Amino acid sequence: MQELAHFIDGQHAKGTSGRFADIFNPATGEVQAKVPLASKAELDAAVASAAAAQPAWAATNPQRRARVLMEFVRLLNRDMDKLAEALSREHGKTLPDAAGDVQRGLEVVEFCIGAPHLLKGEYTDSAGPGIDMYSMRQALGVVAGITPFNFPAMIPMWKFAPAIACGNAFILKPSERDPSVPIMLAELMKEAGLPDGILQVVNGDKEAVDAILDNPTIQGIGFVGSTPIAEYIYSRGCANGKRVQCFGGAKNHMIVMPDADMDQAADALVGAGYGAAGERCMAISVAVPVGDATADKLIEKLVPRIEALKVGPYTSGKDVDYGPLVTAAAKERVLGLVNSGVEQGADLVVDGRGFNLQGYEDGFFVGPHLFDRVTRDMDIYKEEIFGPVLSTVRAQSYEEALGYAMDHEYGNGTAIFTRDGDAARDFANRINIGMVGINVPIPVPLAYHTFGGWKKSGFGDLNQHGPDAFKFYTRTKTVTARWPSGIKEGGEFSIPVME
């Protein structure tokens, strides 16, 4: 059986803790590899070597740092198919979806190539008599990222690309469920010319996470995962004096107005609700049609589309719509929530509980489910399911529909489908959610904007990627300089003011 390793100081490093986690093939349920789980001592050693390497990297011209990222982009394109296959093998995504995972990370790297411009400070000439003022954006030092299983290529790149472009060294703690692609990314960064020690991949579980939170050298931490863990990391990291950004769970609503194109809305819901088996923080998991007539039309359009979905392993070809969930525990949890929806009175219009794929009976596949007449008090409405389950909540007015999204504790993404520009504009202005789609079901911003949710979906005052990333991974230093001329007089003992 394959045994993975950490990636420390530019090379693979065997684990020394004696602890391992199994890596499953989600399609078959078989253990295909094992990954070492780092001890606190291993994590601290990786941080120490990163700290030793970081000053020279920070002193490197930003344009030269950007050239490493330029070469990294070339290598990502070269190895796209290889990365996608490795990602599918451990996560279960279809190959096109896995390639999209890599591509959306690559686009953030492309944005970070503009680091020389993004790191420019400000300058004021003659702020006072003979006084100039200017600011500098300087690296924090050693920073860390704790990334989830559902995007093992994209989110690590969202974290380490801007951090490294800013001159930091980066400790990546990827998910232990699918760690191969993060290690491959580190190998490609080395091949692109990144000095050893600047990107360290340390595999681990809670022990490694706590070591990151408590290590005094680490100055900043980025996290993506569930809300309870986001709250834990944010509170403990901040208590230790670190800069922390955490992104948690989601329950994304899509409002369907009576004037919407129902075919367009149904297609959008199927793709956004069932793509990647629903294991996306931006998945649409709640449809909110306005009016019973709208709801009836929408359900009528959805049912045949959902029943026609092709579920299977990535090896079955590019026409597979989605694959298995990542673990047996994830499958059990999703089916448990489906059963709770039935018990609590929701109408299960499409029942995927009996789904069985011949030859893959031990895989973690879950058939598609569609609920109608879901209410606020049901578990399937309150909780993030993270599976191929779409709930329909009927609203009798636009204001009621708006309230469903606004009142929910999560505020990651949302969408409205309508032909009415006034309704769309009102929705975008009033909704208390971080990312909004207008006739766009999954409104993930492009790399030059920022990604982040509100309410219990996001913790911290800066978002991921885009300009916010360069603010998060740097500190601003302001310099006031005077070069006196003429006769020097005595000291000033009152606070200086502008004359």
pLDDT digits (tens, 9 = 90+) for 144-176: 999 999 999 999 999 999 999 999 999 999 999
- In angstroms, the CA 180 to CA 173 distance is 12
Asked if 153 and 87 count as a contact pair (C-beta separation under 8 A), the reply is yes
Q: Taking Cα atoms as reference points, which of 292, 303, 298, 299 lies closest to residue 417?
A: 298
CATH 3.40.309.10 domain residues, the chain: 252-438
Contacts of residues 431-437 at CB distance under 8 Å and 24 or more positions apart, as own/partner, are 431/402, 431/405, 431/406, 432/406, 433/405, 433/406, 434/458, 434/463, 435/282, 437/254, 437/413
Q: What is the DSSP string of 92-126?
A: ---HHHHHHHHHHHHHHHHHHTTHHHHT---EEEE
Asked if 137 and 470 count as a contact pair (C-beta separation under 8 A), the reply is yes
CATH 3.40.605.10 domain residues, the chain: 2-248+457-479
- In angstroms, the CA 99 to CA 95 distance is 6
Q: What is the pLDDT of residue 489?
A: 66
List all residues 6 or more positions away from 11 whose beta carbon is below 8 Å from its beta carbon. Answer: 196
Residue found by looking up tokens 């969930």 in the block: 325
| 3-class secondary structure, 474 | strand
Asked if 325 and 387 count as a contact pair (C-beta separation under 8 A), the reply is yes
Q: Is the pLDDT of residue 497 over 90?
A: no
Q: What is the pLDDT of residue 485?
A: 72
Q: What is the mean pLDDT of residues 353-370?
A: 95
Q: What is the pLDDT of residue 130?
A: 86
Q: Is the pLDDT of residue 498 over 80?
A: no
- In angstroms, the CA 368 to CA 86 distance is 25
**What letter would DSSP give residue 486?**
S
Q: What is the pLDDT of residue 317?
A: 84
Catalytic residues: 281
Phi, psi angle pair for 24, to nearest 5°: -95, 155
Name the average pLDDT for the chain: 96
Count other Cβ atoms within 10 Å, centred on residue 437: 23
- In angstroms, the CA 471 to CA 445 distance is 18
Q: Is the pLDDT of residue 75 over 70?
A: yes
| CATH annotation of 252-438 | 3.40.309.10
Residue found by looking up tokens 């600011």 in the block: 135
What is the pTM (predicted TM-score) of this model?
0.94
Q: What is the pLDDT of residue 113?
A: 97
Kindly state the tokens that stand for 308: 């026609």
| 3-class secondary structure, 357 | coil
- In angstroms, the CA 98 to CA 368 distance is 20
| Side-chain half-sphere CA neighbours of 461 within 13 A | 3
- In angstroms, the CA 386 to CA 370 distance is 14
Torsion of CA 428, 431, 432, 436, to 10 degrees: -40
Kindly state the tokens that stand for 200: 């360290």
Q: What is the pLDDT of residue 146?
A: 98
pLDDT tens sequence across 114-133: 999 999 999 999 888 889 99
Q: What is the pLDDT of residue 493?
A: 73
Q: What is the pLDDT of residue 368?
A: 98
Q: Is the pLDDT of residue 261 over 90?
A: yes
pLDDT tens sequence across 431-461: 999 999 999 999 999 999 999 999 999 999 9
- In angstroms, the CA 161 to CA 388 distance is 31
- In angstroms, the CA 153 to CA 159 distance is 10
pLDDT tens sequence across 269-296: 999 999 999 999 999 999 999 999 999 9
Q: Is the pLDDT of residue 30 over 80?
A: yes
Measured CA distances, 52 to 66, 68, 145 (Å) = 21, 20, 19
- In angstroms, the CA 206 to CA 21 distance is 12
Q: What is the pLDDT of residue 128?
A: 85
Asked if 355 and 364 count as a contact pair (C-beta separation under 8 A), the reply is no
pLDDT tens sequence across 398-430: 999 999 999 999 999 999 999 999 999 999 999
Q: Is the pLDDT of residue 496 over 80?
A: no
**What letter would DSSP give residue 152?**
T
Helices marked H in 166-313 = 180-191, 206-214, 227-239, 262-274, 292-307
Superfamily of domain 2-248+457-479: Aldehyde Dehydrogenase; Chain A, domain 1 (3.40.605.10)
Q: What is the mean pLDDT of residues 52-78?
A: 98
Q: What is the pLDDT of residue 487?
A: 55
**What letter would DSSP give residue 130?**
T
